[in-house]
Structure 1
Amino acid sequence: MTRKPISLGTTQDPVREERRAQPLARPFLFVVLHCDQPALGGARYCLSEIDVVDIGRGPERVASRVREANTRRLDLRLPDGTISKTQARLVRSGHGWTFEDAGSRNGSFVNDKRVRTVALEDGDFIELGNVILRYRAGLPSSPASAGDLDLESPAVGGFSTLVPPLADELDTLMRIARAPIPVLLLGESGTGKEVLAGGVHALSGRTGPLVAVNCGALTASLLESQLFGHVKGAFTGAIRDEPGYVRRANGGTLFLDEVGDLPMPAQAALLRVLEESEVVPVGGTSPIKVDLRVVAATHKPLDKMAIRGELRVDLLARLSGHRHMLTPLRDRIEDMGILVRDLLRRSKVPGAPELGFTVEAGKLLVQQRWPLNIRELSQTLGVAAALADGPLIESAHLESVHLESAHLESAHLLAPSHETIAPPEPEEERGTAPDELRGRILALLEKHRGNVSGVARDMGKSRVQVHRWIQRFSIDIDAYRA
């Protein structure tokens, strides 16, 4: 993904340039999933400068922008034998869009309902043959993320996305990855923090290895030995020199997974390493210099933990060079095609990469809320691939997972508020960028001293909705009440 260069000519107004770079809400059409050919991944097309979208069959997925008289047209071809040569079209209607079936042989469906003409609403799914598309009325996007994008080929691990606001965030992380800056990956469990950490290391250009540490598995008695290593004879059982995790990562990246579970003694010891760039192995007398880059990840609210004294504030400051919040799967369903493609390619189930889906199975995939995120999707695909006895995964192969997912979602909705429980999908304010929405909530929390009822009243929203936003943006409400 490339970023357009910004001219620094002296005749330009810096304020105007900054405004021009701000994300704008733009309409998009996404190719979410080729059910019978998931290896094709997905694509996005910006509709902000288009009047008509013509969709039909072609030998490969390709989109062409054509200007005819006063009409700006996008011609989209999809490789599917069940789609007619002239299948359907989208027509701009005021500030919205209307879907029209063009008399196709097998018909067109919007949200599972066969239609001839229908006004599209944000989030509508369009089913044409074996292809599932999605219309989004207004997603925040910068000039860089507003362009058309076809993701048939995978990118660096964790950095593939079609969703414009997520693409902008990942573009920032991609630039950070090339600098010697600590990175803190936050978000719900199962959103792919370890994969993204691997992507950050791959982009860093560091020649050393990526060494992953499960912070919750560090034992108090062997803590320093595990992190910093030991010399032979340092204690009973130390029969040889061991470098420890930190020295193994020398020249590379130390990935601290679930850093929120790091025991307090380990926090102090790790802080010394980050401050001095050196370690003293257990039983050793001389410090050993280390050159490493730290990437940490957690699903826990570290700021709140620091306030409660469960995490050293100085350590949190050292880890928080750049914070990146991973998006839950329910908020990036447009990426289902590229996620399914990549997960099937990495599956250990024989034949999984060659499998496709029936349309009904594909619709189940995009209609789920996936409370356990990409980890749940990966397990689902593994089970379904093992059960499939033909070239296509059927909805029956997903039924048990579908029921389990519904059970988990109910548990999330009924559970008391807890920092590790994912909130239901928040209702976004139409046309509002996430950063702008977060800023407005912070200002109102300051105004009302943490009183959610006051915030909800000023925003014209329910208290439940405000609580969802607070959880989604990892806002520490207690700090405002204090």
Structure 2
Amino acid sequence: MSSTLEVIDNPESQAIESNEKPLSFKRNSVLILDDEQGIRNFLQKGLEKVFGLVEVAEDVEEAEALRQRCNFDLIISDIRLPGKSGVDWVTEIRSQGSTTSVIFITAHASLETAIAALRVGASDFIMKPFRMDQMMASIESCMAHQQMQRENIVLKRQVDQLYDSGMIGDCDTMKSVCEVIKRIAPMPTTVLIGGESGTGKELAARALHRWSGRKGSFVPVNCGAITEELMESEFFGHTKGAFTGAQKTREGLFTYANNGTLFLDEIGEMPMSMQVHLLRVLEEKVIRPVGSNRQIPVDVRIIAASNRDLEEEVEKGNFRQDLYYRLNVVNVRMPPLRERMDDIPALVQHFSQTLSSDLGVDAQTISGEDLHQMRDYHWPGNIRELRNVIERCLLLNLKPGQCISAEAGESSPAGSVNNSALLEDIEKNHILKVLESEDGNKSAAARILGVSRKTLERKVKAWNEL
């Protein structure tokens, strides 16, 4: 014990005394547990300068009593203690759910001791004798890691809220959809999402991936946007020289989605030749790049979506029956907006808040009459159309009824505008906003807008003549 204190009490070793910019954890608390009074006194004296609360204990019983009264941010504990060891105590509090950061100190180190400390999630392991600058470096690293963990938790909550906010709906139909998605998300099974265009199929797929816990990426692909000739290469990759134009080896979408999720939107557009390859991958869990003889194992969760009735497509001979059954292990149907009209107020509020922030305009107050008009509309474009209507209202400072009339192609009532006028007003507002951001500099605004200065001047002149 004397040798330990001899080094610790060396004034030159107390880096905290001479630190020009001392660390500060005034909002944090620390518990010091050690049976040597000299160690306790020294650490207490040094740490009271940087921590808001410092408590000391000489045995586990006293430390546990203090812990019951205060949720400490950090515990500094000796390993060898009278009665119960520091490792055994930390093991117990971990089993109770404690996530407090722990730094162990000991004068009797061994490989077994170090392993035991790491197993209970110790942030650091410091040998006695130690200097105060060693302790402070360990504390700084420990608290920085703790802060990062807290920020990650906050970020995770924000991401979860983002996905939850996208799945807005209090109607029974949407509640059932969300319950199914959360239930099947952790499972590796394939999922087929059905529903009309604009009902939020990709949003449901992203929620499935987010709640799955899979470490890989979410990779969305529109099957109707890839030509049949390039589809195999896009999905599985190719080797250099595999075909004309293949100047280098390229990885495919399955590789990018490995350990993650591949979302096949508009799966009904996939040609028969590619359906055969997809079925093989689903069954064998391997891919073979174009031009290669090597098979590559992959762990990819497949989520497919279609606004077509795939059963009808199977009957017509446009879609393979075996692939349909392989994809349709679990079927999730996204309801059209006309079946969830009671969700319109919540959806309108959500879109109004998020879009007004994105566009830099004030959010609108939607009246009861506005909501009544929106409930009376049949919404052929579903939620995507609703979002577009709210965005148009914000851009042009119009009432939802005016935008709905234009959307439906109806004759415009007094005070409303037709589609052409809406587009012209959107263009005008955007150009004027860019001009304002560039302090009226037409050359700079033209570069941002991607038009010539002459074109920009002509448009502005026309507006000024109105």
With the length of structure 1 as denominator, give the TM-score of the two structures: 0.49
1:402 is matched with: 405
CA distance in 1, matches of 2:162, 2:295: 43
1:217 equivalent in alignment to 2:217:
no
Secondary structure of the residue aligned to 1:401 is: helix
1:186 is matched with: 194
1:336 is matched with: 344
Task: Identify the match of residue 315 of structure 2 among 303, 307, 311.
Answer: 307
Q: How far apart are 1:155 and its partner, in Å?
A: 5.4
Secondary structure of the residue aligned to 1:235 is: coil
Task: Identify the match of residue 383 of structure 1 among 379, 392, 396.
Answer: 392
Q: How far apart are 1:361 and its partner, in Å?
A: 2.7
Show the 5 A alignment for 1:469-480: none
CA distance in 1, matches of 2:410, 2:197: 17
Q: How far apart are 1:324 and its partner, in Å?
A: 1.0
Quick one: which amino acid aligns to residue 276 of structure 1?
E
Q: Is the 8 A contact 1:161 1:167 kept in 2?
A: yes
C-alpha distance after superposition, 1:70-106 (max 9, x if no partner): xxxxxxxxxxxxxxxxxxxxxxxxxxxxxxxxxxxxx
C-alpha distance after superposition, 1:180-231 (max 9, x if no partner): 1111111111111111111111111111111111111121211210111111
1:294 is matched with: 302
Secondary structure of the residue aligned to 1:256 is: strand
CA distance in 1, matches of 2:351, 2:389: 10
Change (3 A) 1:352 1:323: farther
Task: Identify the match of residue 235 of structure 1 among 224, 228, 243.
Answer: 243
Question: Which protein has the bigger helix share?
Answer: 2
Task: Identify the match of residue 263 of structure 2 among 246, 250, 255.
Answer: 255
1:354 is matched with: 363
Q: How far apart are 1:404 and its partner, in Å?
A: 2.9
CA distance in 1, matches of 2:165, 2:304: 17
Secondary structure of the residue aligned to 1:156 is: helix
Q: How far apart are 1:156 and its partner, in Å?
A: 2.3
1:245 is matched with: 253
Quick one: which amino acid aligns to residue 172 of structure 1?
V
CA distance in 2, matches of 1:177, 1:377: 28
C-alpha distance after superposition, 1:310-351 (max 9, x if no partner): 111111111111001111101111111222233234438523
CA distance in 2, matches of 1:363, 1:353: 22
Secondary structure of the residue aligned to 2:264 is: strand
Quick one: which amino acid aligns to residue 164 of structure 2?
V
Task: Identify the match of residue 196 of structure 1 among 193, 200, 204.
Answer: 204
C-alpha distance after superposition, 1:402-431 (max 9, x if no partner): 2433759xxxxxxxxxxxxxxxxxxxxxxx
CA distance in 2, matches of 1:236, 1:370: 47
CA distance in 2, matches of 1:155, 1:196: 9
Q: Is the 8 A contact 2:389 2:403 kept in 1?
A: no
1:433 is matched with: none
Task: Identify the match of residue 321 of structure 1 among 312, 318, 329.
Answer: 329
Q: Is the 8 A contact 2:259 2:299 kept in 1?
A: yes
1:365 equivalent in alignment to 2:389:
no
Query: Deviation above 6 Å: which 4+ runs of structure 1?
Result: none
Q: Is the 8 A contact 1:184 1:295 kept in 2?
A: yes
Q: How far apart are 1:358 and its partner, in Å?
A: 3.7
Show the 5 A alignment for 1:428-439: none
Quick one: which amino acid aligns to residue 253 of structure 2?
Y
Change (3 A) 1:187 1:258: same
Q: Is the 8 A contact 1:183 1:294 kept in 2?
A: yes
- In structure 1, the gaps of 5 or more residues are 1-152, 389-393, 409-482
CA distance in 2, matches of 1:314, 1:253: 21
1:269 equivalent in alignment to 2:277:
yes
Quick one: which amino acid aligns to residue 365 of structure 2?
G
Q: How far apart are 1:353 and its partner, in Å?
A: 7.0
Q: Is the 8 A contact 1:157 1:199 kept in 2?
A: no
Farther-moved stretch of structure 1 (157-166 vs 379-388): 157-166
Q: Is the 8 A contact 1:380 1:398 kept in 2?
A: no
Secondary structure of the residue aligned to 1:250 is: coil
Quick one: which amino acid aligns to residue 405 of structure 2?
H
Q: Is the 8 A contact 2:263 2:304 kept in 1?
A: yes
Farther-moved stretch of structure 1 (354-363 vs 201-210): 354-363
Secondary structure of the residue aligned to 1:198 is: helix
Q: Is the 8 A contact 2:177 2:334 kept in 1?
A: no
CA distance in 1, matches of 2:205, 2:362: 24
CA distance in 2, matches of 1:324, 1:218: 25
Change (3 A) 1:403 1:355: closer
Change (3 A) 1:303 1:157: farther
CA distance in 2, matches of 1:229, 1:157: 36
Quick one: which amino acid aligns to residue 257 of structure 2?
A
Secondary structure of the residue aligned to 1:225 is: helix
Quick one: which amino acid aligns to residue 404 of structure 1?
E
Q: How far apart are 1:262 and its partner, in Å?
A: 0.7
Secondary structure of the residue aligned to 1:222 is: helix
Quick one: which amino acid aligns to residue 287 of structure 1?
Q
CA distance in 2, matches of 1:328, 1:189: 9
CA distance in 1, matches of 2:358, 2:408: 22
Structure ID, larger Rg: 2
Q: How far apart are 1:157 and its partner, in Å?
A: 5.5
